[in-house]
Structure 1
């Protein structure tokens, strides 16, 4: 087992997960609204999608990456629209009572929804394509075992961050008042909408500029 590949994957997984963006805000909102496990399962969904893109990049699956990048405007449009819709839903959502008896979305739905949202953003693939050449010797071994070690590291690194983040927020969730929860929903929803709208505006602006 090549521990260097595993450690590099962990570092890259953390690098991807730590920056605060719309994905982080959704996971944070679910943690505050529904509890730490809902946030953690959502985060694991993000880690899974990151790992898929890591595998595609590491193994050099040019057909798959070429297809994704070739239709990246479509994927990014879908991601932008989904973020806008999710942001609107978060903005207008009313905080439920902090109780284990209240109804929440199934953990599987939390997980799968974040896999879909993250996969729909091909910028993660672009990140891997840009960053992996910096670890040049990685490409010397393209065996399934080497890929599994690296991808496992990405998954572990990303998952560690979501457990720490959502676990920490979940531990203080019960002390947050209803009015503060409502304010968090409004701010998170607005930011998520802005991220999604920004993606769509950049795509439209790019198309207008490219028109001769």
Structure 2
């Protein structure tokens, strides 16, 4: 039920927007964003090699994907969530292949290609690339943790759901700004030699993440083991 605002000068009840779900949403968004995995490494690398703005835009792509999965879970769009989860192995394999290719490309980047200038890849490519690499297992995370919050109950209003999803987006974005912003500030202190080393190491780590995950998925399929 929406909260009703009552005032001495008001003759009618005016519905207020309940902002309480924003805080748990923001906490969950931060929880998703803080762990350093291959996606975070790509954002870090872009912040150092291309500038903080590119890293932050990449973080916005991650936050958008997290918010989408939160909305799918909270609103209860079982058709969409069922479609994604029923084809999760396909999504995993594709994501792993993209990670491997991205890691190889990054590790082979030359110093001239990562020179400290303001010209680099368009922002929309940074944003969309993170959407492509979004992990469908985020649905499982939300499906596990959200029942503990009232915003997922049927009796809650649509506005509460939207505010919760906004909180997830803001939490994930906040961490991206903190991480990429702080790393981007030391960009001018890093030489092209250091950038090349960072690109090689981060590229190899990202490719290793992708290869390991791909091997795990193929082994699970071969043994007929499914998580869901």
Any runs of at least 4 consecutive aligned residues in structure 1 with deviations exceeding 3 A, and if so which? 140-143
Between the aligned partners of 1:29 and 1:192, the Cα distance in structure 2 is 11
Paired residues in the alignment total: 207
Between Structure 1 and Structure 2, which shows a larger proportion of helix residues?
A: 1
Q: CA deviation at 1:134?
A: 2.5
Q: TM-score, normalised by structure 1?
A: 0.93
Between the aligned partners of 1:146 and 1:202, the Cα distance in structure 2 is 38
Would you say 1:89 and 2:105 are equivalent positions?
Answer: yes
1:124-152: CA deviation from partner (whole Å, max 9, x where unpaired) = 11111111122256324453212110000
Select 1:167's aligned residue among 181, 185, 188.
181
The 5 A counterparts of 1:130-209 are 130-136=144-150, 138-209=152-223
Select 1:64's aligned residue among 72, 76, 80.
80
**Which residue is 2:143 aligned to?**
129
**Which residue is 2:63 aligned to?**
47
Unaligned runs of 5+ in 1: none
Unaligned runs of 5+ in 2: 1-16
Conserved 8 A contact 1:5-1:138: no
| Larger Rg belongs to | 2
Between the aligned partners of 1:144 and 1:154, the Cα distance in structure 2 is 16
Between the aligned partners of 1:97 and 1:70, the Cα distance in structure 2 is 43
Whose relative contact order is higher, 1 or 2, with alpha carbons under 8 Å and at least 6 apart?
1
Conserved 8 A contact 1:22-1:195: yes
Conserved 8 A contact 1:10-1:158: yes
| Cα separation, partners in 2 of 1:142 and 1:56, compared to 1, 3 Å | farther
